[in-house]
Amino acid sequence: MTVVGRTDRLLVSRMTIEDASGIHEALSDPEVRRYLGDTDAGDVADVRSRIETVLRGPADPTQAWVNFTLRERSGSIIGRLEATLNPGWAEVAWILGAPWWGRGLGTEAGVWLAGYLDDECGIHEIWASVHPDNAASIGIMRRLGMVMQSDPHARNLQSRDPGDLVFARCDDPQA
């Protein structure tokens, strides 16, 4: 495990194939899939295949992917953080297992990710999409200074599903 960041309660490490079992265990709960679909459902082999794909990186040469495994300080995997880096902006996501909801860990992870993108990548403008019923993630976005966008197509978000709300933190919120 290569730790790249720490918060008061979390460890953030580079995602590896060896994390597949722990990510699957943390995120396979039906409550998580209610908002995300089957991204981390299936079996451990499916999660391993997804990790292999993200570690290869995007086909678009103007993009880069950063993918992290999120752990409690004890080392137990509780979710993942990810960002698609585009020229001048990033699409972000944080996914935590249901047992860790409601404790401020999502906000702690989101703050760390936004800081990482600022400090390590020089990216301040962050965008994310969210299911309209996912009040917890909407709250995290607002705590990160993200604002709901009136034009959800202003940036080409890869994770946006029909009906999703789009939030952004940038100098020109309608960029």
What pLDDT shows up at residue 42? 74
Per-position DSSP letters for 15-68, written without gaps between them: --GGGHHHHHHHH-SHHHHHHHTTTT-S-HHHHHHHHHHHHH--SSTT-EEEEE
pTM of the model: 0.92
What pLDDT shows up at residue 57? 95
- pLDDT tens-place string over residues 92-108: 999 999 999 999 999 99
CATH superfamily of the domain spanning 3-124: Gcn5-related N-acetyltransferase (GNAT) (3.40.630.30)
128 DSSP β-pair partners? 167
Which pair of structure tokens corresponds to residue 123?
A: 């990216």
Q: Tokens 């699409």 appear where?
A: 91
- pLDDT tens-place string over residues 120-159: 999 999 999 999 999 999 999 999 999 999 988 889 998 8
